[in-house]
Amino acid sequence: MHCKGVVIEMAIKILFLVLFFGVMIGVGFYCRSHASDVNGFVLGGRSVGPWLTAFAYGTSYFSAVIFVGYAGQFGWKYGIASTWIGLGNAFLGSLLAWVVLGRRTRVMTQHLKSSTMPEFFGKRFESGALKIAASVIVFIFLIPYTASLYNGLSRLFEMAFNIDFTVCVIVMAVLTGVYVILGGYMATAINDFIQGLIMLGGIVAVVLAVLNSKGGFTEAVISLSKISNGTEQQGAYTSFFGPEPLNLIGVVLLTSLGTWGLPQMVQKFYAIKSEKAINTGTVISTVFAMIVAGGCYFLGGFGRLFSTEEAVNASGYDSIIPEMLKNLPDILIAIVIILVLSASMSTLSSLVLTSSSTLTLDFIAPLRKKEMSDKSKLSTMRILVVFFIAVSAVIAIVQAKSNVTFIAQLMGISWGALAGAFLAPFLYGLYWKRVTKPAVWTSFIAGSGIMILNMFFKDIFPPVLQSPINAGVTSMIAGLVIVPIVSVLTKKPNSDKMKEVFSCYEETITVHTTHSLKEK
């Protein structure tokens, strides 16, 4: 009788996976017509509506790294206060990002005919060298970040199916590659929407089930308040800002403000269809982040009720969330697996699409003596999608099998390096005519340089900045300070050129009175 029950439970999990993968591939075939040219493959023809854009932004934001890695690690360190990270992601990383960047990014990138962030730098600052440098930074730091997406899956699949990590990585990589190659950005956006719905429902169900296993929210909080953090502070893990407020602020800033400089996030704004799509997308994206990110970090805050210091020291932070989930009903474990797969595949598809389009349009095409045709660019991007997915899968498998710490370190600094290099020049470039090429170069060098130094020469930093998180925040702040200072101290850009670049914001359009009141 027991064997029969095990077979039924396994059949339920496998059925969920088969249905999930079938839908993903079906969407890829459905969207083939949208990926027949470069504009369609990379940006969906700039005609993506608010729901798809908002979910594409949110699902690219949150992956298995967040659900399994960060939620476990920061929930363990800061307790329930780690929920602030999720709220920061919602209001600073989503709401404010859409308000500050959304409209201006869409308008200026269309005006400059740029499809990628490096291409934006090249055309905005009239520098082919800047475009190539930006594409190299993207290439170097997105691959290890891509590889990190597989990390959260290994323990969950081992817990649910007893499947080797290698098999899990290969299956996920192949299926993601198929629908991205077939349907490009539109397939990715539609699948992101489906995966986002799964993430929303899944995280709510999991949080309720986990808290219920400890007697409900009140009982769980009381139990957590009794755990000591090794100091005289009472109830540290249930306090408003947790036991380490300054480090908590660093995590909030890096994971929230950092998205403003990540090419795979900003590129979502390039594809927005209309003004209405921006307004609606802002609300949807914020609510999505509140539920998914807030739920993940809130859940992680109760990790100390399910694991011990000895277990975490032996198995690492990635073991905390799986430990919390292992005694859930099989139907919920199946939902969790689909949730984490959704989070990982959506981010993976966004990253490889960004990497392949950037390398093709901003690095390979400019270096070719003969101009590449649209068809040739499209073929190259599809080949590079396969290449990036394959390389990231190999890196993930090598790291899992041999525990190569160098790769793990590189994954940790990827976010800080990309945001540190790109955030300031992109943000200022949208709003300020005075930004100069030397200022952009300085930001590129400072942002990526700080993180590379942090990886190889950590000891030269003050103790508070030896953490990759705090070093990443420092690199972003450095860019925001350096760019205006260097811009003022260097030669002013050509005024006629800047007038032409910013003319896109001065074009007159006609709107209904429901959107704008008449002036007397």
Tens digits of residue pLDDT in 333-374: 777 777 777 777 777 788 888 888 888 888 888 877 778 887
- pTM of the shown model: 0.84
* DSSP designation for 49: -
Rounded CA separation 416/455 (Å): 11
pLDDT value, residue 480: 94
pLDDT value, residue 279: 86
Rounded CA separation 118/393 (Å): 25
Residue by residue, what is the 3-state secondary structure of 301-361?
A: CCHHHCCCHHHHHHHCHHHHHHHHHCCCCHHHHHHHHHHHHHHHHHHHHHHHHHHHHHHHH
Write down all domains in the chain, each with its CATH number in brackets.
2-400 (1.20.1730.10)
pLDDT value, residue 14: 76
pLDDT value, residue 449: 92
Task: Give bridge partners of residue 272 from the DSSP assignment.
Answer: 48
Rounded CA separation 176/127 (Å): 34
pLDDT value, residue 396: 77
pLDDT value, residue 158: 65
Alpha carbon of 294 to those of 62, 226, 290, 383: distances in Å?
A: 11, 23, 5, 37
Phi then psi for residue 48, to 5 deg, are: -90, 130
Q: Is residue 83 a contact partner of residue 297, using CB atoms and an 8 Å limit?
A: yes
Q: Is residue 190 a contact partner of residue 278, using CB atoms and an 8 Å limit?
A: no
pLDDT value, residue 375: 83
Low-confidence ranges of the chain (pLDDT < 50): 1, 405, 407-408, 517, 520
Rounded CA separation 208/4 (Å): 29
pLDDT in tens, 36-85: 777 777 766 666 777 888 888 887 787 767 777 788 888 888 999 999 99
pLDDT value, residue 404: 54
